[in-house]
Structure 1
């Protein structure tokens, strides 16, 4: 029996945790994401407004959508995602105006995660799910609050960045047309049906909402800063089709974050200038998109310092606080997501 168990563990490590997927043209989306991040951040540095960087970064997430889409389908998907992301920044900035926004951020984040998952399923988003939308909402809600004018400014910055990302995403098609090359078909189809077996799954909506609500609540009750990191991390395990895949993704999140925190600690110890922080953010963006489809855990080694450097650029915080918060929040969120997946594992069998 012990030999069988060791064999299963070895298979789990080789085929799941350590699996490395095909390249599948990842460099193209990595270039789009890097350019879409670099230009807005460089503009903000030039005008002396690095504190606006998170809003610009949230808008730039639009570049991540439509990895394998072409022509109108990628454009349509990125426009939809951009609209959702900008809306999330605006709503989050309104929540940030409150004296104590944490609890409303958690409750609204749970509802919005479920709603965005419906849009994602119906339009067959890639990457799927509400992770980036929730990040945009909860991250904006966690920034120092201001006035209604500040919320409007945040929305405008995110919208400008998202518009540029969509423009970058359309550049490939324009170049192919200019060179007289054929444009592969790939028209986007929508399916908003809620029936069993269709893309829109209400059980998945419930999983997202429960995971976000539990992770955010636990993080606040524990008194950890940046509870939105736990909320976002909780989405990772519950976004998979099976419990086993969720355990793998959650484990990837925890191990990759741990290594990424060590990388970020070394970089922050060097006290890089704002210019170097932007250069590093762009480099890690490229690395993250190059790896995320191949091994999520390895990609997290890039994603973690990317997130920490972006926060540091917007509002410099003691490095030890950022590092501890990121590590603890990510572990809390991933564990909550795995537990939600375990508690609802029967839903997979019922759907099948």
Structure 2
């Protein structure tokens, strides 16, 4: 199993500060309010809603409004089930079972909806913690959930607030990423070569362009200027993949209307990206050759149909949510096993083992191994950091609040570099959150956290090994057949369209690049 690759640090994420600031702002409002009210013991319930501010930062604001609403609803639904369980039974085994099932549901729902970071871990952490609240009564559940609703409102407002200043901010960032990735592809020189660097550059550009289209499709009929920039980036990438540059769009020379020719070179693409990130007016791509202009207009005219297809695809994902039963079963099994073993060993907080097992589960065994390694290393270092911080946090409530907020902020920066580095700060933050309900011996907290981390990682891996996805190979074969069919259909459609006298100019470079990439992928996967 890979070790070095699992621990390698990536560059700092370009928008890490957005979830960091949002999470800190929402938590700060909640914690300061409870501090002034003298009820920091209610932190768990109010923070359940407030931590939803971490979600949806890559979505356009119209889509973000809906997504945040669903995240808050999902968070509070899980918390309600957990609190009712805590009120109805003192059985630790039953509480672990409920927390484990919720962990499986959270994982499946987050994967199916593609909500993005931080995924299911935050939802599971809050719900599992709520399942083990001591002395919970049924009469208290509505009040506690109500506090979560108020925290959710704060999170929603914080998440939507930047849209007042930059309503097209997420779309700008997505298109800027695509332009930057395409610029790197163009700068790579022999883009059609088969070396690894060229392959990675092509893959990065294609991924960024696709992600940008998904973002723009969610923004409705707006952002026409951003769509034109993205189409021009696609033209540059297709020309590069075809082994040439768009000489017809080379800088220099004036054209009718006063616009300057240009737009395919790496410097121009990077310059457009810089303008977008700085919030300046959206650049207008210069006039290109007639064939490329016609191809780009044809692509823009098909965006409405693609948006409808994307909407239908999203609905289909939810309609076939039953396909995710394996995820629910595997995560629930691993989480329950971890929690029950922790319970049998007399650990005071078996829900930490449940959360770790749920966090370890990934798409396949190799990825789960990497996540387990990262989780164990990060938590080990995080426990040491907690031990160093706790004397300071026990100076008073203000010191504790400041420490939690600092850990929250730093986590969002560190986790973009690697999950293990983020865990170094997540672990002490989770342990510090327990301090709001009352201080406990540091040695007990440290022992519980470390043991639960090891148990959770081991149980999560064991569940992945014993319950593998036996249909993965079948889905690969099905995907290969669909890819073959799509390539045949693409060629037939292009040939038919080329034979019609009224047909608009076809994007031949893009068609050729798609066919070449498809055939290469077929060859790789078949081998």
Asked if Structure 1 and Structure 2 have the same fold, meaning a TM-score greater than 0.5 normalized by the shorter chain, the answer is: yes
Q: Which residue of 2 aligns with 1:161?
A: 151
CA distances 1:14-44 after superposition (whole Å, capped 9, x unpaired): 4221232441311111111111111101110
Distance in 1 separating the partners of 2:123 and 2:423: 18
Q: 1:23-62 alignment to 2 at 5 Å? A: 23-62=13-52
The alignment yields a C-alpha RMSD, in angstroms, of 2.4
* Alignment of 1:223 onto 2:346: yes
* Alignment of 1:297 onto 2:420: yes
Q: Which residue of 1 aligns with 2:460?
A: 337
CA distances 1:76-131 after superposition (whole Å, capped 9, x unpaired): 11111101111222222222224514222222223223333343233221127533
- C-alpha spacing 1:245/1:45, structure 2 compared with 1 (3 Å): same
Listed as ranges, the gaps of 5+ residues in structure 2 are 174-214, 219-310, 477-527
Q: Which residue of 2 aligns with 1:174?
A: 164
Which of residues 111, 128, 150 in structure 2 aligns to 1:138?
Answer: 128
- C-alpha spacing 1:350/1:321, structure 2 compared with 1 (3 Å): farther
How many residue pairs align between the two structures? 337
Partner SS state of residue 29, structure 2 = helix
* Alignment of 1:192 onto 2:355: no
CA contact (8 A) 1:211 1:234 kept: yes
CA contact (8 A) 2:103 2:355 kept: no
Q: Which residue of 2 aligns with 1:120?
A: 110
* Alignment of 1:279 onto 2:402: yes
CA contact (8 A) 2:331 2:463 kept: no
Distance in 1 separating the partners of 2:45 and 2:409: 19
Partner SS state of residue 248, structure 1 = helix
Offset of residue 346 of structure 1 = 5.0
CA contact (8 A) 1:71 1:185 kept: no
Partner SS state of residue 318, structure 2 = coil
Which of residues 98, 103, 107 in structure 2 aligns to 1:108?
Answer: 98
CA contact (8 A) 1:116 1:130 kept: yes
- C-alpha spacing 1:99/1:346, structure 2 compared with 1 (3 Å): closer
Q: TM-score, normalised by structure 2?
A: 0.60
Q: Which residue of 2 aligns with 1:15?
A: 5
Offset of residue 51 of structure 1 = 0.3
Q: TM-score, normalised by structure 1?
A: 0.88
Distance in 2 separating the partners of 1:317 and 1:147: 23
Q: Which residue of 1 aligns with 2:369?
A: 247
* Alignment of 1:97 onto 2:108: no
Q: Which residue of 2 aligns with 1:233?
A: 356
- C-alpha spacing 1:346/1:160, structure 2 compared with 1 (3 Å): closer
Higher RCO (C-alpha 8 Å, min separation 6): 1
Offset of residue 134 of structure 1 = 2.1
Distance in 1 separating the partners of 2:138 and 2:41: 17
CA contact (8 A) 1:308 1:322 kept: yes
Which of residues 45, 60, 70 in structure 1 aligns to 2:60?
Answer: 70
Q: Which runs of 4+ in 1 moved over 6 A?
A: 181-184
Distance in 2 separating the partners of 1:137 and 1:195: 22
Which of residues 73, 79, 82 in structure 2 aligns to 1:83?
Answer: 73
Distance in 1 separating the partners of 2:376 and 2:151: 30
Greater radius of gyration (CA): 2
Which of residues 324, 335, 345 in structure 2 aligns to 1:212?
Answer: 335
